[in-house]
A and B are shown apart, each in its own frame.
Chain A
Amino acid sequence: MRTLRDVKVGEKAIVVKVKGEGHLRKRIMDMGITKGCEVAVIKVAPLGDPVEITLRGYDLSIRRQEAESIEVE
């Protein structure tokens, strides 16, 4: 399954499912990364991680490892 980690800079994707549990999973969804939401990866940090994404009209920084728990299409 493709995850947000696989989305390249400049590309967009639609969230299918948030995996994981507890704090991380809830936090991801609280920040608006929910099923059906469109997310665009806009930048990678100078050292290659984390990545900056934009969704629901604002910018969010997320580590690649955390992006892995977000399934997209």
Chain B
Amino acid sequence: MSIRIALAGNPNCGKTTMFNRLTGSSQRVGNWPGVTIDRKEGRLKGQEGVTVVDLPGIYSLSPYSPEEVVSRDFLLNDRPDAVVNIVDATNLERNLYLTTQILEVGIPTVIALNMIDVIRKEGVEIDKAELSKRLGCPVVETSALKGDGLEELIKEVMAAPARGAGSYPRYSDGLEAHISKVSELIKGHVPDESVRWYATKFLERDSMALEAVPAEVAEEVEKVAAAMEKEFDDEADSIVAGARYDHIGGIISAAVKRDDRRGKETTSDKIDKIVTNRWLGLPIFAAVMFTIYYISITTIGTLGSDWVNDTLFGETLIPGVDEWLSSNDVNGVLSGLIVEGIVAGVGAVIGFLPQMLVLFILLVILEECGYMARVAFVMDRVFRRFGLSGKSFIPILVGTGCGVPGIMATRAIEGKKERRITAMTTTFIPCSAKLPIIAMIAGALFFQSAWVALSTYFLGILCILMSGVILKKWHSMTGAPAPFIMELPPYHAPGLFTVIRSTLERGWAFCKKAGTFIMLACAIVWFLSAFDWGLNMVDDIQNSMLSDIGMSLKWVFVPLGWGDDWEFTIGTITGLVAKENVVGTFGVLFGYAEPSEVGEEFWDIVAARFGPGSLGQLAGYSFLAFNLICAPCFAAIGALRGELGSWKDTGKAVLYQCALAYVIALIIFQFGSILLGGGFQIWLLLAAAALVGLVYLLAAKDPFKAIGRGLLRRPADE
């Protein structure tokens, strides 16, 4: 016998913690079909053949957000044997709103009255028996954080399928009359056990539900809804939502026996008074961000990353594998592929893992304790102006360390549009792997001026904000805007178990990516750099296929001032594997086998290639700008694919990044060289056109519609 149980509840109700408690280590993470929302599944601890499916955190079974849609589809079509509805006891009224809808679906339901320990401490007494009687289903008091009440919950859940569905919430007689009319109309067109759910949804004019019945039935239903609106002198959805909350009000006044919270300030309120204070809010935010950056990027995280890069891979793994392969007489080509291509390439990526794990821990803590919502609250005004969200700041900050966790951190942004734009632009900010390129250019051409590095951060921010403005107009890329109505959950201490678990989960997702996609990409670039077109192995990268590719592409970068040197093109290509490769590639190309990280040995060669004086500096800066803004490394592109959901959109995003990088570098070099007296080049016209195009995209109301007539199909606005 196999039983399936769905876990449903609001965001912040302790659902993730409960899921971890119920399933232990048996989890599998996948995706819901068609959307990039994690679908988690696990086996119920201590029970044979019982699967627990974790539904996304939702407030309602509305047809709008993808989270709500996958949840209702699962409940209605896949029909789990039972639902555990986790209800946050500290926020009973709003949590029960979802409960009323779940009960209507007609699946046996058990309520887990969670955070019962917290609510007791606050002096609130809830009559469990009364609550259960009024809701028509069993109620179990739990504390997922402490692990209390789990045995009883499991016992009730196992008994639920045999007991069957409970009763539905009953609303006012007036509304009930209309619901029964609709129920009569739709009987036979929808599954018997969900008639009640469909009937109420129809009265709300739920567009997705209405698709379930023939048009003539929908018309009849519409007549009932119109009559109801006339009777109540209100709109249909408002009548139903109001009725649900009235019903909940009745339950609460009967079941909550004592509430000492009324009018009293909780600890959370006191913390919030300081943290989001009109004057202290921004300084506190800056301090928190600095601390995260300091701990993960510059101190603890870097220690770990250096160890992995230098000791684990540099001194142990790479020489070790090399030795083992040669002692076993492995073919030179194969061992080259394995050592130089795969192990070194993947190593470059895995090297960021310690930094990322430290970052993840800190971010999970921020999320769990409730500060993340406050970040959005404090920063929203700034970022919204540019089509981003208050929460966009976090990925950008994380992106200064590594773009991969930066892109992954965009998951916390609720609005789809803001989430996608942030994911696409996060890598504009220089990550730690880009620092050697900056150091090389600054050292070779700018007398190691610190202004170079500083200016790249400003350039990054500028590109992010500009892209926000441009991309928010691109409907096909970003989708319909989401409202920014966000719960500010009470602060609470994060559970150690959840923090560790979420951190490892994210770290593991990254490792999987490094082990598959990035490995393949590394192998391909290595292959291109190690062979010529006759598939003979070459010693000198200058004879390789990669070099020819660089040669044939170098003209592309002539307008950017890179001159006649194919090395810069090759460096840019190998930068796709990992940005720290750029300097290393120059080392190889200029004949230094093992250059220092920033390539001090060949600064004079780099300077000579870019040319003398301020024009050379300009060309160098154009190279820098292009490399910082263009397509990120394969690892980051892989992460972007994970967030955007399809290779098609990822391709568009990467194309956009490269185009923007090209335009920026072009404008910098061509206009710069005119200002510095470099004389007129035909490319100046191209730069002028690019500038006009950029300004147009920034200023025009609906640029893609105008540009893309016949080229880009713009889906109808939702």
Please give the residue numbers on chain A whose beta carbons come within 8 Å of chain B beta carbons, in ascending order.
Answer: 17-18, 22-32, 34-37, 43-50, 52, 56-63, 66
Interface residues of B in 356-397 (CB under 8 A from A): 373, 376-378, 380-382, 384
Whether B488 lies near A66 (C-beta < 8 A) is no
Please give the residue numbers on chain B whose beta carbons come within 8 Å of chain A beta carbons, in ascending order.
Answer: 59-60, 62, 64-65, 91-94, 97, 234, 237-238, 241-242, 245, 261, 272, 276-279, 281-282, 373, 376-378, 380-382, 384, 480, 482-490, 718
Closest-by-CB residue of B relative to A26 is B62
> What is the interface of chain A mostly: helix, strand, loop, or mixed?
mixed
The CA of A61 and the CA of B97, in the complex, are separated in Å by 19
Q: A49-B381, A61-B485 are in contact. Are A26 and B237 (CB under 8 A)?
A: yes
Partner of A47, one of B261, B381, B486, B487: B381
Instruction: Say how far B266's CB is from chain A's closest CB, in angstroms.
Output: 11
List 9 A–B pairs whose Cβ atoms lie within 8 Å, in order of A's numbering. A23-B482, A29-B237, A30-B60, A45-B276, A47-B378, A49-B380, A57-B94, A59-B489, A63-B484
Whether B60 lies near A26 (C-beta < 8 A) is yes
Whether A46 lies near B487 (C-beta < 8 A) is no
Whether B485 lies near A48 (C-beta < 8 A) is no
Q: A residues within 8 A CB of B234?
A: 35
Q: Known pairs A26-B62, A45-B377. 15 more at Cβ < 8 A?
A: A26-B64, A26-B237, A29-B241, A30-B62, A30-B241, A31-B94, A45-B380, A46-B278, A56-B93, A57-B93, A58-B94, A59-B488, A60-B485, A61-B377, A61-B485
Total number of A-B contacts with CB less than 8 angstroms?
120
Indicate the member of B381, B382, B482 with the most A CB atoms within 10 Å.
Answer: B381
Q: A residues within 8 A CB of B59?
A: 27, 30-31
Q: B residues within 8 A CB of A59?
A: 272, 487-490
Q: A residues within 8 A CB of B483?
A: 23-24, 27-28, 66
Whether A23 lies near B278 (C-beta < 8 A) is no
Q: B residues within 8 A CB of A48?
A: 381
Whether A17 lies near B238 (C-beta < 8 A) is yes
Whether B278 lies near A44 (C-beta < 8 A) is yes
Partner of B480, one of A17, A23, A35, A61: A23
The CA of A23 and the CA of B378, in the complex, are separated in Å by 24
Q: A25-B237, A28-B485, A52-B377 are in contact. Are A46 and B242 (CB under 8 A)?
A: no
Whether A30 lies near B378 (C-beta < 8 A) is no
Whether A46 lies near B281 (C-beta < 8 A) is yes
Whether A31 lies near B278 (C-beta < 8 A) is no
Instruction: Say how far A56's CB is from chain B's closest CB, in angstroms.
Output: 4
The 9 closest A-B pairs by CB, nearest first: A46-B281, A30-B60, A47-B381, A29-B241, A59-B488, A23-B64, A24-B483, A56-B93, A34-B242
Q: A residues within 8 A CB of B482?
A: 23
Indicate the member of B277, B377, B482 with the most A CB atoms within 10 Å.
Answer: B377
Partner of A46, one of B93, B241, B378, B486: B378
Closest-by-CB residue of A relative to B273 is A43
Closest-by-CB residue of A relative to B68 is A30
Instruction: Say how far A1's CB is from chain B's closest CB, in angstroms.
Output: 16
Partner of B487, one of A28, A60, A66: A60
Q: B residues within 8 A CB of A27?
A: 59, 62, 64, 483, 485
Q: B residues within 8 A CB of A57?
A: 91-94, 261
Instruction: Say how far B595's CB is from chain A's closest CB, in angstroms.
Output: 46
The CA of A60 and the CA of B272, in the complex, are separated in Å by 13
Partner of B276, one of A26, A43, A56: A43
The CA of A31 and the CA of B486, in the complex, are separated in Å by 9
